[in-house]
Structure 1
Amino acid sequence: MDLPEAQTPVTPQYDHTPLYCEENVYKLCKKLCSAGAADTEASNLFVVFISNDKKQIPLWHQKASHRADGVILWDYHVICIQKKENEKSPQVWDLDSTLPFPSPLASYVAETFRPSFPLFSEFRRFYRIVHAPMFLRCFASDRRHMKDSEGNWNAQPPPYDPIIAEDGAVHNLNEYMEIHSDDAVATIKADLVNDVRNERLGVVVSETQIEEFFSLST
């Protein structure tokens, strides 16, 4: 992720490196499983990448913001959404948010995305939903996106080794964070949940569809 300097410390039991939201969520999913907050296979967790064609997405209640309302313009952001079987309300885990951790999806959407707030088309957000078990097996990042042209870090990387996918891939972050409006599905159908579970890069939905998707998933 690009941008801000000032960051508010996160709850210490969760790994958090400023501006490395994709790795933070990767570690978060593993922690939720090991702590018993999610099932051991992470099957009730989903990783959600948020971006658009212009890589300009406004989000509210972000700790990196310098404004009272917490709004900030990210190039992309990554969160974890948990949908437990037989529980009506999905929960959003966002390590960069000032909202309760976790937050019910409906209130998170209302407070963070503010869908009633009018946006120019270049700021409209789209969401790549990836099933966490697939993400944990397939995601890889050698952090090259956080280096300048001379190989210097734009932001201090996490203290642990870079994440390598099970198939040996060392970097595929760009495949996840490249999100375009044309990629979004036309309608939310029941079999879309199976598509998410079986596709390495999940599916892309629009903002009006994200709550509908999670009303179907179990």
Structure 2
Amino acid sequence: MTTSKLEASTSTVEASQFQHTPFYCEENVYLLCKELSKKGIADEKSSDLFVVLISNEKKQIPLWHQKASNRADGVVLWDYHVICVQRKVGGGDSPSQHLVWDLDSTLSFPCDLATYVSETIRPTFQTFPEFQRYFRIVHAPIFLRNFASDRRHMKDSLGEWLHQPPLYEPIVSEDGTVHNLNDYLDIRATDVVKEAGHDMTDPVFTQKLGVVVGENQLEEFFSQIP
């Protein structure tokens, strides 16, 4: 599919067209990737999509312009969040404008990556060290094959739901794994890649858990993808 067709197809997309269960962003994005491919908005094999899981050791990450916020600036302190980034290739002299698909955002849907970073992540905003955000980037085809969640993280010590789960069946990986969400969300500062260029991006196409970058590396990462 050409860039022009993709751009035309995203102009009429609304978040309400996609499955969304509050507090289950990882499952929402899993289904979103499949639906974007099914609708022809993304590559049929989801090869232009990347799942981005945002968290840190403290499980405290501030993000702005979130629908769940009661504040005017839309800030929420999530334990983690998950979004989809679509790699776009500019035509001719046009620069690439990668797109962020965030079903929980009040920004445009989708939103270009540069705007999302400046408005939602705000890397220049001074925060305490414990609020530093890290980003695990997983190539969508790999994520769709391997991700699994039986939603155990949404139950309290008595087995009661903290938040009501989706009505559809839990997601099981292709190899039969029933839960590995914790593996994806174990995101630490020591995991952040130090290399630049292809040394930073190549592993995302081969590693089950992708790569982890810092908040000042996110745009650079997608600009380096061949």
Matched position secondary structure for 1:191: helix
Deviation of the 1:53 alpha carbon = 1.0
Deviates more, 1:125-134 or 1:178-187: 178-187
Residue 90 of structure 1 corresponds to 98
Task: Give, in angstroms, the shift of residue 204 of structure 1.
Answer: 0.3
Q: Normalized against structure 1, the TM-score is what?
A: 0.93
Number of residue pairs aligned between Structure 1 and Structure 2? 209
1:39 and 2:39 correspond: no
Counterpart pick for 1:162 among 160, 170, 173: 170
Residues 76-155 of structure 1: pairs in structure 2 closer than 5 A: 76-86=80-90, 88-155=96-163
Structure 1 residue 216: Cα displacement:
1.2
Q: Distance in 2 between matches of 1:90 and 1:184?
A: 22
| Residue in 2 that maps onto 1:68 | 72
Q: Kindly state the Cα deviation for residue 20 of structure 1 after the two structures are TM-superposed.
A: 0.2
Structure 1 gaps, min length 5: 1-9
Q: Is contact 2:15–2:109 with CA below 8 Å preserved after alignment? A: no
2:206 match: 198
Cross-structure match for 2:191: 183
Distance 2:90 2:207 in 1: 24
Asked whether the 8 Å contact 2:18–2:35 carries over to 1, the reply is yes
Percent identity for Structure 1 against Structure 2: 62
Aligned equivalents of 2:18 and 2:184: distance in 1?
Answer: 23
> Residue in 1 aligned with 2:15?
11
Name the SS for the 1:106 alignment partner.
helix
How large is the RMSD of aligned CA atoms in angstroms? 1.1
**Secondary structure of 1:192's match?**
helix
For the residues of structure 2 that align with 1:74 and 1:29, how far apart are their CA atoms?
A: 22
Structure 2 length-normalised TM: 0.90
Contact 1:128-1:176 at 8 Å conserved across structures: yes
- Unaligned stretches of 5+ in structure 2? 1-13
Match of 1:3 in 2: none
1:56 matches 2:60: yes
Q: Distance in 2 between matches of 1:104 and 1:187?
A: 25
The answer to which structure has the higher helix fraction is 2
Cα distance, 1:32 vs. partner?
0.1
Q: Which residue of 2 is the match for residue 4 of structure 1?
A: none
Contact residue 188 and residue 209 of structure 1 kept, 8 A: no
User: Is this contact kept in 1: 2:90–2:97, CA < 8 A?
Assistant: no
Give the aligned residue type for 1:48.
V
The aligned residue for residue 25 of structure 2 is: 21
